[in-house]
Chains A and B, each alone.
Chain A
Amino acid sequence: MSAKALGPVRRKFAPWNDSSAVPLIQIRDVSKAFGSFTAVNSVSLDIYEREFFALLGPSGCGKTTLMRMLAGFETPSAGSISIAGEDLAGIPPHKRPVNMMFQSYALFPHMSVEKNIAFGLEMDRLPKGEIAARVEEMLKLVKLEEFAKRKPHQLSGGQRQRVALARSIAKRPKVLLLDEPLGALDKKLREETQFELLDLQMALGMTFVIVTHDQDEAMTMADRIAVMNHGQFVQISPPAELYEQPVSKYVADFIGDINLLEGRVTKNERGHIVLGSEVTGGRIEASGETVAGLGDKAWFAVRPEKVSIDLQPPNDPTVNTASGTVWDIGYVGDISVYHVKLDNGGTMRASIANTRRVVERPISWEDKVFLTWAPDSGIVLTK
Chain B
Amino acid sequence: MKRLSLFNVVSLTLGFTFLYLPIVLLVIYSFNAGRSVAVWGGWSTKWYGSVFESQQLLDAAWITLEVGVLSASVATILGTMAAIALARHGRFHGRTLFSAMVYAPLVMPEVITGLSLLLLFVALNMDRGFWTIVLSHITFTMCFVAVVVQSRLSSFDRSIEEAALDLGCTPFMTFFRITLPIILPAVISAWMLAFTLSLDDLVIASFTTGPGATTLPMKIYSDVRLGVKPEINAICSLMVAVVTIAVVIASVLTKHQEVERERAERLAANAP
* A residues with CB within 8 A of B: 71-73, 92-96, 98-100, 102-104, 106-110, 119-120, 123-124, 147, 151, 153-156, 159, 167-168, 171
Does B162 contact A93, Cβ atoms closer than 8 Å? yes
Contact A106-B168, Cβ < 8 Å, known A151-B264, A156-B269: no
Q: Which residue of B lies closest to A95 (CB)?
A: B168
The contact sample of 7 A-B pairs, CB cut-off 8 A, is A71-B166, A73-B165, A94-B167, A99-B167, A153-B264, A154-B268, A156-B271
Contact with A along B140-181 (1 / 0, CB 8 A): 000000000000000001011011111111110000001001
Q: Which residues of A sit under 8 angstroms from B169, Cβ to Cβ?
A: 94, 119, 123
How far apart sit A343 and B182, CA to CA, in the bound complex (Å)? 65
Does A119 contact B164, Cβ atoms closer than 8 Å? yes
Q: Which residue of A lies closest to B167 (CB)?
A: A120
Does A108 contact B160, Cβ atoms closer than 8 Å? yes
Q: Which residues of B sit under 8 angstroms from A92, Cβ to Cβ?
A: 165, 171
Does B167 contact A171, Cβ atoms closer than 8 Å? yes
How far apart sit A25 and B146, CA to CA, in the bound complex (Å)? 43
Q: Which residues of B sit under 8 angstroms from A93, Cβ to Cβ?
A: 162, 165-166
How far apart sit A104 and B156, CA to CA, in the bound complex (Å)? 12
Q: Which residues of A sit under 8 angstroms from B264, Cβ to Cβ?
A: 151, 153-154
How far apart sit A167 and B182, CA to CA, in the bound complex (Å)? 19
Q: Contact partner of A171 among B168, B271, B272, CB < 8 A? A: B168
How far apart sit A73 and B159, CA to CA, in the bound complex (Å)? 10
Other A-B pairs beyond A94-B170, A123-B167, A171-B167, 14, CB < 8 Å: A71-B166, A93-B166, A94-B167, A99-B167, A100-B162, A106-B157, A107-B160, A120-B167, A120-B168, A123-B168, A123-B169, A124-B168, A154-B268, A167-B163
How far apart sit A120 and B173, CA to CA, in the bound complex (Å)? 12
Q: How far is the CB of A192 from chain B (nearest CB, A)?
A: 13
Does A100 contact B182, Cβ atoms closer than 8 Å? no
- Report if B223 contacts A (CB, 8 A): no
How far apart sit A132 and B5, CA to CA, in the bound complex (Å)? 62
Does B166 contact A108, Cβ atoms closer than 8 Å? no
Closest 8 interchain pairs by CB?
A120-B167, A123-B168, A106-B163, A106-B159, A93-B165, A154-B264, A156-B271, A102-B159
